[in-house]
Structure 1
Amino acid sequence: MDLVTVIQKFKKKRLAAPLVGYPGIKLTNTTVFENLNDPNKQFETIKAIFEECKPDIVFPFMDLSVEAQALGLETRLSNTYEVVKHPVKSLNDLNKLELPKIDRTRMRVFVETIKKCKENLPAIVGGYIAGPFTLASLLVGVDDLAINTLMNPDFCHSVLSFTTDMAVMYAQAQQQAGADLIVLLEPSAVFLSPKAFEDFVGKYVNKVCEMLKIPVVLHVCGDSSKLIKKMCETLVQGLSLDSVINMVEVSKNVPDNMVLIGNISPVEVMLKRNSSEVYKSTMNLLEAMEAHPYYIPSTGCDVPGNTPIENVVAFCKAVRDYNTNIYNPNCER
């Protein structure tokens, strides 16, 4: 099923899709550790967000380390899990790695959360995977990987072949659990040139897309403006763009059937402003994007855990009000 069909099923002008998970722990009085290790806890948090904020698309918690941890990399828990060592420095190191069994790793937490969301919430359910290049950067180290794209590209392609297999396996598990779409996260790709993106990101993103029956959205953090054209040349059906991107300008230069997603700032707006300001910023973006046929209002990236939940409420309410031609900046529910 294509992404346009998925979003049209809701028969709404625009769908609210904030990338939000961690702020919900305040609603369930749980911890980050509990949510990242227990699918029941995580589902209850996502359910609480859904009931309080009323988004149209829900996501599990974003955790870029879960695949790397499943491969045996050392991590530490702060605001979320972080990879602390990057052990793959040679083909010999790479050959020591094996694809893990999902049910023996924390990946199962997110797969089971997606299944619970699909079975219990009247919403579109998205999933997350670390893109092949970003997972490779966690295995090798982002600086070493960048250098090797120039000095030892064959090594990079070997690593990327492995990380693509990992991405496909995890995405297919989420698809089987009921995910309606997959957001493929490639924050490490923002530093690449367009040609390097094509060689080391685009071709592997395409391999993931080819192995799935559900649509893929590509998310690149930061200023990805120089990469937009190459992103559109991949098989993804949506682009999730960060807050530094001018969405209106991008909308003029992408295919009409490319779904654009974003891009309220998760920090400068969602975290730092009050609910009325969030509402106004969201409404302004909605009005600015009026002409693009397939636009999903969202945040530019994952919303920080200490974001006031009333700001997420205000974001979603602005979308509902836009759909019904109401303007209420006081954010009364």
Structure 2
Amino acid sequence: MNMYNWIEQVIYTERKKPLPILSFPAVQHLYVTMRELVADSNHQAIGMRAIADNYDMLAALSYMDLSVEAEAFGAYTVFKADEIPTIIGKLISTEAEAEALEVPEVGAGRTGENVETIRKAQMLINDRPVIAQCIGPFSLAGRLLNVNDIMLQCYENPELVHMVLKKAAAFITAYATALKKIGADGIIMAEPLAGLLSPQLIKEFSTRYVREIVGTLQDKHFIVIYHNCGGAVPHLMGSIMDTGCYAFHFGDAVDMASMLEKIPRNYLVMGNISPARVFNKGTAEQVRLETLKLLNQCGSYNNFVISSGCDIPPDVDLDNVNMFFKTVEGFYYRQSLRNAIS
């Protein structure tokens, strides 16, 4: 599939399909635990097919599990029955430990299962692009150095941070290359920790590494979608646009209409219904109202695709998810009727 053409087709399609980050609720369709899902490529691929069968999304998405790459490096990962895995503690404290850190082979930890997931999903899903997911370099380095520590080390010991970043970026590149070779049509790169940096620091510690990864991977058959759910994103757009990506996904901490004003109309911009406040804790009526509100604000932008602000929790009320899709479909149907009459 020519993914550059796909982006153009999405922009010029009048009745747009949504693309929420909807993958972990597959556990409700499969009747498995989260712990079983994240450890088994069969469960994951069948879960992606179940989501594709039940929801008319622009693409089929794999799972936004930001512990995978850090676990491959050896970071301590906590698995619970019904929660997304998390990294605790830190793997690196000193420059000596950073120098000794080995870049793992693709296949370490659960990365092999995730590559297999994409291979199997490609066999099960052929009516839309299959998009994998990975972490961004600064966010991965933060999990290896500890999230709080890396923010301090950017000022006190930038050499240490760059040492870890180079190894993080090397592994992400190799991992994403494996996903590309096995059949993924693109990848969502989640770089939320970079959303806490200043405009100067994001250039030094995130954008330059993301740009190198994108430059290696992206071509007409494989796109990199940049995801950042940080609240400071509106002040960082110069650097974010410099990543080389043609599609962006933003969290609910930002005003989506203002983001669309900043970004050229030939770039896809996706977001940003709150996964926690609206999808998970809201009622179906609240989902309908929030979805309509965002569509009324942003639906006139051809390059806007409505989505969740981040990944939707596994235990979300599926009635809320159904209401989201029903509301989006109704909005664009009514809009197409108005356009036809006019």
Q: Residue 324 of structure 1 aligns with which residue?
A: 333
**AA partner of residue 245 (structure 1):** V
Describe the SS at the equivalent of 1:16: coil
Paired amino acid for 2:94 = S
Say if 1:316 and 1:179 are closer, same or farther in 2 by CA, change over 3 A.
farther
The reply to whether residue 236 of structure 1 matches residue 245 of structure 2 is yes
Aligned equivalent of 1:123? 128
Count of paired positions: 327
CA–CA distance in 1 between the matches of 2:9 and 2:182?
Answer: 20
Structure 2 unaligned regions, length at least 5: 337-342
Report the Cα distance in structure 2 between the residues aligned to 1:5 and 1:318, rounded to whole angstroms.
27
1:266 aligns with 2:275: yes
Percent of pairs identical after alignment?
Answer: 28
Q: Return the TM-score normalized by structure 2.
A: 0.89
Shift of 1:84: 1.6
Q: TM-score, normalised by structure 1?
A: 0.92
Out of 19-28 and 64-73, give the one that drifted further: 19-28
Q: Give the CA deviation at 1:321.
A: 2.8
**Equivalent pair of 1:2/1:215 in contact (CA under 8 Å):** no
The 8 Å contact of residues 98 and 160 in structure 2, kept in 1 or not, is answered as: no
Aligned residue number for residue 73 of structure 1: 75
2:339 corresponds in structure 1 to none
Match of 1:99 in 2: 103
Paired with 1:124 and 1:279, the residues of 2 have a C-alpha distance of 27
Query: Is the alpha carbon distance of 1:287 and 1:178 closer, same or farther for their aligned partners in structure 2, counting shifts above 3 Å?
Result: farther
Q: Deviations over 1:138-189 (max 9, x none)?
A: 1111222111111111221111111110110111111112222211111111
Q: Secondary structure of the equivalent of 1:324? A: helix
Verify the 8 A CA contact 1:7 1:15 in the aligned structure 2: no
Q: Which amino acid aligns with 2:329?
A: R
Query: Which residue matches 1:42?
Result: 44
**Aligned ranges 1:126-205 → 2 under 5 Å:** 126-205=131-210
How far apart are 1:270 and its partner, in Å?
A: 0.8
Q: Which amino acid aligns with 1:155?
A: L
User: 2:63, 2:132 within 8 Å by CA — same for their partners in 1?
Assistant: no
Aligned ranges for residues 2-21 of structure 1 at < 5 Å?
4-9=4-9, 12-13=13-14, 14-21=16-23
Q: 2: CA distance between counterparts of 1:177 and 1:310?
A: 34
Amino acid at match of 2:143: L
Q: State how 1:280-295 maps to structure 2 within 5 Å.
A: 280-295=289-304
Aligned to 2:254: 245
Task: Report the RMSD for the aligned CA atoms in angstroms.
Answer: 2.0
- Distance (Å, rounded) in 1 between the aligned partners of 2:176 and 2:313: 24
